[in-house]
Amino acid sequence: MKQTTILNRVESVGIGLHKGEPIRIILEPLEANSGIVFYRSDIGVTIPALPQYVVNTQMATVIGSGNESVISTIEHLLSAINSYGIDNLRIITDSAEVPVMDGSSASFCMMLDEAGIRELDAYKKVIIIRRDIEVREGDKFSRVTPSNNPTYHFIIDFAHPVIGRQEYIYEFSKKNFLEHIARARTFGFLKDAQVLRSMGLALGGSLDNTIIMDENKILNPEGLRFPDEFVRHKILDAIGDLCLLGMPMLGNYDSYAGSHKLNHLLTKEILKDPQNYEVKTFDRVVQHEKAFA
């Protein structure tokens, strides 16, 4: 299997979750071995999508090359890119955020479908997990284990009547992503949104791009897209966060109450020790091609 990029340049406009301002986003093709890179057109700064550039994980995954040169909320877009098997791409924004769109990856999947996929004259590189690696924070954890058929297994447990305990096992593939994960939206609580807005954050959050709950119920009039949309969105986030490894991962992912922070710590832990993983080109791992189809 060869490396890929997009066939055509595409663009769109959406609202930024935190500042609430319109953001223009452009996807452009790149040559082989370029990786996924972000470019802030308003300040002329390029930021590679790699773990060493992660600067904040409190409310979203944020990458940057300095205090002012940051791009936030990259995980939903990266989740689509990862699931489409795209290895090389330039993402241009004119703001410090990727637009939130409808709070899921669906709009980014539509952009990638419009752009089309182009194979490049270089074999795809894969990071193969060779041993169990885990990071913990109290009873919360994120872990990867060796596997020839990547799956994402996530459990959440919220003391809220609408959410409660949810568990989902997802077998990684583009088809499964489009059918079961891509449309799952981000979610939050009304009381938290009010606090964030008083701090000048979440100004773009609305019922159009976030599942919002009060103490007892969902406020979105259309309800949920899946009965367990909450845990599916956590898997969506994890796929995007693990895209920061810089290449597709061959291994299983498991998490209990995981977060952007734990996912980032996990990518750092994987890459910290060369005995944790092996990087191979796809001409030598053809038997696993189905996982990345």
Please give the positions annotated as active site. 260
Q: Which helix (H) or strand (E) holds 263?
A: helix 260-272
CA distance 26 to 9: 7
Closest C-alpha to 219, from 196, 194, 192, 188: 188
Q: What token pair was written down for 251?
A: 């291994």
Say how many C-beta atoms besides its own lie within 10 A of residue 67's C-beta: 7
Cβ–Cβ under 8 Å, residues 204 and 16: yes
At which residue do the structure tokens 């074999």 appear? 123
Q: Measuring CA to CA, how many Å separate 190 from each of 58, 60, 193, 217?
A: 18, 18, 5, 10
CA distance 269 to 267: 5
Cβ–Cβ under 8 Å, residues 104 and 182: yes
CA distance 185 to 236: 9
Who contacts 122 (Cβ-Cβ below 8 Å, separation ≥6)?
2, 3, 32, 33
| CA pseudo-torsion sign 190, 192, 196, 198 | positive
Phi, psi of 286 (to 5 degrees): -60, -30
CA distance 191 to 234: 21
| Kind of pairing between the strands at 277-281 and 125-129 | antiparallel
